């Protein structure tokens, strides 16, 4: 059924035996830096590659403060520690990766699922505003859920698949309803909205350097922060809450060991330095797909607002309404052509362990899940 569309997709890709959605590629400089790091024996939580990695992220994002972590998940876990979400509701898109929601549960918070837009996996901020108007009330300057009577303290904004959310609008909602924002920019390194890097306007934002991201340290993450006291607090607890002393080994509170290792920074450094080229290549691949699929019978490619400059981490296409029912068949045909395309994230509220949590109407989320296809998107394609 989809032969013609698959032929077009293949024409955008170089000859290769198989195509995954996203694969890392390391250059000789990465190997060289990693070898040097091993030779120096500074492979753990201190070392020059960590410093250089932090500097490069600063150059790209212009974030005020940066902490490097051992994963995006731990970066989320730590960021939520700034807000103390225990027994309060955290608004979170259902269209996200499981880690976003798990980080709320690790902190004894209550996820409250919010819908995405009907044309993109990103949150629908207008729908959120209406929902808050009708389903919450304010008491002594704090926001509460009318149904559960629980306090709502926080909203997690996810820049899904690297697509930047309009943070000016998100901030206006956060101000009107007195809720804090944490940004999950796990896949959005190199994505800008109105020329500002995502994650730099909120109290805290996170990035992931997992193996499937545009820059990878193997596993790793970063927290972007705005103020020094938040930076100091997280830096302390993520380093086992150890008290500084030349020989005593003492800790002043429960602590976590969630720092990035120097050897991981060494692996990722040269990719970071090369980010402009990586972003150009990803944009080129996106434009190729866009051009070839523009009059396709079955699907169209997702487009972005004029103000946003996404990193095209993963290129998603959407089946036209009449063909959504054939989504699984499309995957089968793609896979039998060695194109290992994937579904987008299964909506979180459908996972058995998350079904009991509060939610808004999530009809767009279901539609986006059932109609989207993530195509091979690696920068070397």
Query: Which residues make up the interface to ligand PLP (CB under 6 A)?
Result: 71-73, 96-97, 99-100, 158, 184, 186-187, 208, 210, 221
Q: Give yes or no for a contact between 338 and 18, defined as CB atoms under 8 angstroms apart.
A: yes
Distance of alpha carbon 221 from its chain centroid, rounded?
Answer: 10
Beta bridge partners of 69: 221, 259
97 vs 323, which CB is nearer to ligand PLP? 97
Cβ-count burial of 153 within 10 angstroms (0-12 exposed, 13-18 middle, 19+ buried)?
A: buried
Give the shortest CB-311-to-ligand PLP separation in angstroms.
13
CB of 186 to ligand PLP, least distance (A): 3
Shortest Å, Cβ 319 to ligand PLP: 22
**How far is Cα 347 from Cα 375, in angstroms, rounded to an integer?**
19
Nearer residue to ligand PLP within complex by CB, 136 or 191: 191
Nearer to ligand PLP among residue 96 and residue 120 (C-beta): 96
DSSP 8-39: HHHHTS-S-S-B-S------HHHHHHHHHHHH
Q: Which is nearer to ligand PLP, 173 or 258 (CB)?
A: 258
Q: What minimum distance in Å lies between the beta carbon of 329 and ligand PLP?
A: 27
Alpha helices in the chain (DSSP H): 3-11, 28-40, 48-61, 72-80, 98-106, 125-135, 167-177, 228-238, 262-273, 275-292, 327-336, 363-371
Q: Which is nearer to ligand PLP, 87 or 343 (CB)?
A: 343
Q: In this chain, which residue has its C-beta nearest to ligand PLP?
A: 72
Chain centroid to CA 201: 16
Q: How far is the CB of 94 from ligand PLP (least distance, A)?
A: 12
Q: Residues for the chain: how many in total?
A: 381
Q: Which is nearer to ligand PLP, 99 or 269 (CB)?
A: 99
CB of 237 to ligand PLP, least distance (A): 18
């Amino acid at each position: 059924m989809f032969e013609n569309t698959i032929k077009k997709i293949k024409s955008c890709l170089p000859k290769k035996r198989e195509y995954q959605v996203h694969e890392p590629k390391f250059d000789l400089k990465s190997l060289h830096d990693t070898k040097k790091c091993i030779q120096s024996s500074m492979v753990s939580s201190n070392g020059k590659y960590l410093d250089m990695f932090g500097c490069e992220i600063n150059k790209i994002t212009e974030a005020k403060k940066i902490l490097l972590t051992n994963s995006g998940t731990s970066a989320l876990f730590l960021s939520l520690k700034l807000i103390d979400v225990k027994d309060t509701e955290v608004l979170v898109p259902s269209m996200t990766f499981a880690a976003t929601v798990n980080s709320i549960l690790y902190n004894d918070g209550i996820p409250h699922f919010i819908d995405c837009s009907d044309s993109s996996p990103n949150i629908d901020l207008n729908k959120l505003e209406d929902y808050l108007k009708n389903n919450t009330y304010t008491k002594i300057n704090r926001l509460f859920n009318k149904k559960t009577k629980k306090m709502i303290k926080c909203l997690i904004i996810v820049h899904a698949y690297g697509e930047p959310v309009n943070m000016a609008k998100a901030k206006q909602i956060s101000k009107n309803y007195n809720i804090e924002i944490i940004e999950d920019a796990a896949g959005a390194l190199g994505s800008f909205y109105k020329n500002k890097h995502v994650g730099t306007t909120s109290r805290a934002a996170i990035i992931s350097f997992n193996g499937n991201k545009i820059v990878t340290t193997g596993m790793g993450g970063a927290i972007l922060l705005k103020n020094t006291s938040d930076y100091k607090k997280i830096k302390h607890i993520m380093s086992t809450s150890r008290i500084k002393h030349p020989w005593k080994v003492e800790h002043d509170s429960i602590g976590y060991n969630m720092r990035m290792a120097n050897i991981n920074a060494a692996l990722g450094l040269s990719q970071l330095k090369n980010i402009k080229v990586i972003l150009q290549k990803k944009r080129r691949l996106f434009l190729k797909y866009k051009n070839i699929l523009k009059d396709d019978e079955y699907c169209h490619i997702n487009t972005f607002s004029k103000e946003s400059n996404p990193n095209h981490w993963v290129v998603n296409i959407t089946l036209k309404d009449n063909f959504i029912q054939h989504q699984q068949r499309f995957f089968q045909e793609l896979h039998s052509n060695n194109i290992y395309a994937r579904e987008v994230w299964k909506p979180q509220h459908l996972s058995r362990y998350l079904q009991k949590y509060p939610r808004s109407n999530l009809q767009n989320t279901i539609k986006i899940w059932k109609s989207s296809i993530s195509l091979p998107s690696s920068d070397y394609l």
